[in-house]
Amino acid sequence: MSTTIKVARYHLIFPILLVAAPWALLAFTFAVNLIVTVIQGGPNPTKALAAIFAVMVFAGGLTMTRSLPFALTLGATRRSYYLGTVGLVIALAAFYGLAIAGLQALERATGGWGVSMYYFQPHYFLTGAWYLTWLSSFVGLVLLFVYGTWFGLLYQRWDTIGLFVFVFGQVILALTGVFIISGDHAWHSVGHFFTTLTAAGLTGALAALLCAGGFALIRGVTV
């Protein structure tokens, strides 16, 4: 059994980060929103699905800080740890994406669970056919996980200062981006962008790029 597979199995021994947390949070926010929708009545296009995506960022960070040292001690190479972890997440994400697409289909079929709550179809996002939802979710989950690994690895290598520089840099980038988009009143096209196939392809490419970066970062980690 290759070390990469061993790493995947390692994460599954007690998969709190990669399985329990995302779905528990999804279930929780779903339930809360359902209750709120029932009480307030009327259409509720909540964006709470973002929760599961946010958790992936945390999971990425934590697998690279909390779970990494013991795996390295047990003899995993840094390479196989990164690949094994991301590989597992890719497999899980494919599965989760399908689940989201399935739940979305169910939601549409039941008219928003009978109370017009559109949890699995946030405004402007995931508006396309089921397979596009699947693809977008899949790619989005992977991207955010890999993004999260950057936080973890930068912290491992350069401590709080590294994190600070990383966040600071992104804030600058984000502000610039928001400036441009708001200037063009282009939020609508942004959402549309993220649903089309080419967008999924580009997001996937971004994920791959970040993955390569993470792979390079982990080489220098010491525990």
Partner 1 sequence: MTPAISLTGLSRRYGDQLAIDDVTLQIDGPSITGLIGRNGAGKTTLLRIIAAQEFATAGTVRVLGSSPVENEAILPNVALVREDQAFPQFRVRHALEAASLFYPHWSAELAEELVASFELPPNRWVERLSRGMRSALGAVIGLAARAEVTLFDEPYAGLDAVARRVFYDRLLADYAEHPRTVLVSTHLIDEVSALLERVVILDRGRIVLDAGADEARSAFTRVSGAVEAVEEFVAGRAVLERRRIASQESAVVAGGLHDGDRPWARELRLTLEPLSLQQVMVQASARAAQQSKEREQA
Distance separating alpha carbons of residues 60 and 154, to the nearest angstrom:
12
Longest dimension (CA), the chain: 56
85 belongs to the binding site for partner 1 (CB under 8 A):
no
Phi, psi of 127, rounded to the nearest 5 degrees: -90, -5
Site map for partner 1, 122-141, x if CB under 8 A? Answer: --------------------
Site map for partner 1, 194-223, x if CB under 8 A? Answer: -------------------------xx-xx
Among 34, 55, 76, 144, interactor with partner 1 by CB under 8 A? 76
Distance separating alpha carbons of residues 46 and 36, to the nearest angstrom:
10
DSSP letters for 136-161: HHHHHHHHHHHHHHHHHHHHHHHHHH
**3 state SS of 46:** coil
The piece of 27-35, 69-77, 144-152, 180-188 that touches partner 1 (CB under 8 A) is 69-77
10 belongs to the binding site for partner 1 (CB under 8 A):
yes
72 belongs to the binding site for partner 1 (CB under 8 A):
yes
- Shortest gap between Cβ of 63 and partner 1 (angstroms)? 8
Token pair recorded at residue 180? 């441009």
Distance separating alpha carbons of residues 146 and 212, to the nearest angstrom:
10
69 belongs to the binding site for partner 1 (CB under 8 A):
yes
The piece of 72-80, 100-108, 114-122, 178-186 that touches partner 1 (CB under 8 A) is 72-80
- Determine contact, residues 30/119, Cβ cutoff 8 Å: yes
- Shortest gap between Cβ of 148 and partner 1 (angstroms)? 15
- Shortest gap between Cβ of 190 and partner 1 (angstroms)? 36
156 belongs to the binding site for partner 1 (CB under 8 A):
no
The CA distances from residue 177 to 46, 170, 191, 216, in Å, are: 24, 10, 15, 27
Among 29, 54, 77, 163, interactor with partner 1 by CB under 8 A? 77
42 belongs to the binding site for partner 1 (CB under 8 A):
no
Closest of 1, 206, 207 to residue 89, by C-alpha: 207
- Determine contact, residues 37/117, Cβ cutoff 8 Å: yes
24 belongs to the binding site for partner 1 (CB under 8 A):
no
- Shortest gap between Cβ of 151 and partner 1 (angstroms)? 17
Contacting positions for partner 1 (CB under 8 A): 3, 6, 9-10, 13-14, 16-17, 66-67, 69-80, 219-220, 222-223
